[in-house]
Amino acid sequence: AQKITQTQPGMFVQEKEAVTLDCTYDTSDPSYGLFWYKQPSSGEMIFLIYQGSYDQQNATEGRYSLNFQKARKSANLVISASQLGDSAMYFCAMREGNNRLAFGKGNQVVVIP
C-alpha cells in the first residue's frame, strides 16, 4: 500500500508567487518523520525540510514551510516567493520508527518569469 501520496499534476507558478505542494501519508506508527526533497533537472536530491510527528510547531526553513496537519495526515510544502531556480521535482517522504523511508511519486514544479 502506498504510504506517501502526491497526486497533483505538473504545476506552473509565476515567479515571486507562493506555491503549495500536497502530500498525504499513511502510517500506524506513532513516531514518524516527514520531509521534502528537491530534485532539479541536474538530478541530485536536495534535502529541504523536516517535520517530526511530535513537533508542536510547523517546520520552516527560509522560503520553505511545512503545513503539518496531523489529524488529516497531510504535510504540504509551501514555497514562498518562487524563484526560477525552484523549478524541479519535489518529493515528499516519510520515515517510520524502524527508520524505513518511503517516498512519494513527486510533484513537478515549473516557475515561469
Cell triple for residue 8? 497533483
Of 18, 45, 81, 84, which lies in the binding site for other proteins, with binding defined by CB under 8 A? Answer: 45
- Closest approach of Cβ 39 to other proteins, in Å? 8
**18 vs 46 by CB, closer to other proteins:** 46
- Closest approach of Cβ 71 to other proteins, in Å? 22
Per-residue contact flags (x/-) with other proteins for residues 12 to 41, judged by CB under 8 A: ---------------------x-x-x-x--
Q: What is the DSSP letter of 1?
A: -
Q: Strand 107-112 vs strand 11-14: parallel, antiparallel, or unpaired?
A: parallel
User: Which residue matches cell numbers 524541479?
Assistant: 88
Give the Cα separation of 79 and 62 in Å (integer).
9
Give the Cα separation of 73 and 87 in Å (integer).
26
Tell me which residues touch other proteins (CB under 8 A): 33, 35, 37, 39, 43-47, 50, 89, 91, 95, 99-103, 105-106
